[in-house]
Amino acid sequence: MIEPHGGKLINRLIEGEKSRELQAAAQSLPVIQLNAFEVSDLEMLAIGAFSPLEGFMRREDYLSVLGKKRLANGLAWTLPVTLAVAEEQAESLKKAKSVALADPSGTRLAVLQVEEVYPYDQEAESIAVFTTANSDHPGARYVASRGNWLVGGAVEVFRRPNEDHAFSKYQMDPADTRRIFAERGWNRVVGFQTRNPVHRAHEYIQKSALEIVDGLLLHPIAGETKADDLSLEIRLRCYEVLLENYYPTDRVLLALNPASMRYAGPREAIFHALIRKNFGCTHFIVGRDHAGVGNYYGPYDAQKIFKEFGADELGIAPLFYENTFYCRECVGMASLKTCCHGKESRVFLSGTQVRKVLTEGGQLPSEFTRPEVAAVLHEAFNQSVAQQGA
């Protein structure tokens, strides 16, 4: 089994008597109320998906990640994991030894040991991470909306975020997926990152990868995404009908990734790979414009960034794929590497085009998506239209 990043799978979920003691102590501590994005980061820290991190970053790690794409100890890491507060709260926290962390409803979840409180440059972070501070970029817009001070320190989580998850059957921690891989005898596992329903091009890539590994971890984002992305419920229904009808069930595991999307393109491709390494994957699929948004990154920048790291530095093997499509002349799925026909023979549909077809009551072509998936999407969009008209 592949080692977690940094060599040890972190566990910051506290149980038993200590959990009860922490919960009681948290009632008298100052409170930082987290937003939904920060709650998902807290969950990732708690279950070890962000190993080797034990909490929100202190200044030395934060600056090293922005400037060098590595933690202060030199370990590869490409995105900041931070907790922001307003300046007024930062001043009071400088004297605190620990603080309670609460979800948006005010429910206390964890205790953070306050190791450092420091200012940061929001615009500089966005330019380093996203290549832009433009408010059109969802990641840069989010950074600009946060407080301008950061609180660093280890966390101890006594109440798991989203513990009453509506999709708990797919809620699997790194320790769980690693156990399942071992039970199934999977030594080589490929991870696939997704925040959209799987269409035919995705299916083609996944099955190509399955030819060289033992199993596939289909690992959709369960945290925050863009407002116009499909809900997790709809996406999971699409995955279910697809796996039921078109995949060998003993070679695929569907599990949720509690993380939120940052839309950081190349840096997020590395970030996603390291997360899947912690979940036990040995390989990770990197396609065209991975974690991209708008025109902020080149179409293959997310693949090129892997060259910045040594062969053994990441510890997980990327599998690079070209843009894939259905070719009417080839009468099958193909890519720019395998198809000699012109654009007029290729079936591409953007997310915008898909939404337009569904909104207008049209049929998605079978060359783009499986009919079972199309049926789920049609039903979801029809329900949405009906609710809007009610």
User: Any idea which residues carry the catalytic annotation?
Assistant: 195-196
Q: Alpha-carbon torsion 244, 277, 36, 155, what sign?
A: positive
Query: How many other CB atoms are found less than 10 A from the CB of residue 162?
Result: 19
What is the C-alpha separation between 179 and 189, in angstroms, rounded?
Answer: 13
30 SS3 class: coil
Amino acid making up residue 48:
G
CB 258 within 8 A of CB 162: yes
- State the DSSP H helix or E strand holding residue 99, giving kind and residue range, or none if neither: strand 98-102
Residue 192: closest CA among 243, 145, 154, 234: 243
Stretch (H or E) spanning 42: helix 36-47
Cα–Cα distances in angstroms (integers) from residue 119 to residues 32, 58, 150, 191, 332, in the given order = 16, 11, 6, 36, 54
Of 53, 161, 173, nearest to 108 by C-alpha is 161
CB 137 within 8 A of CB 38: no
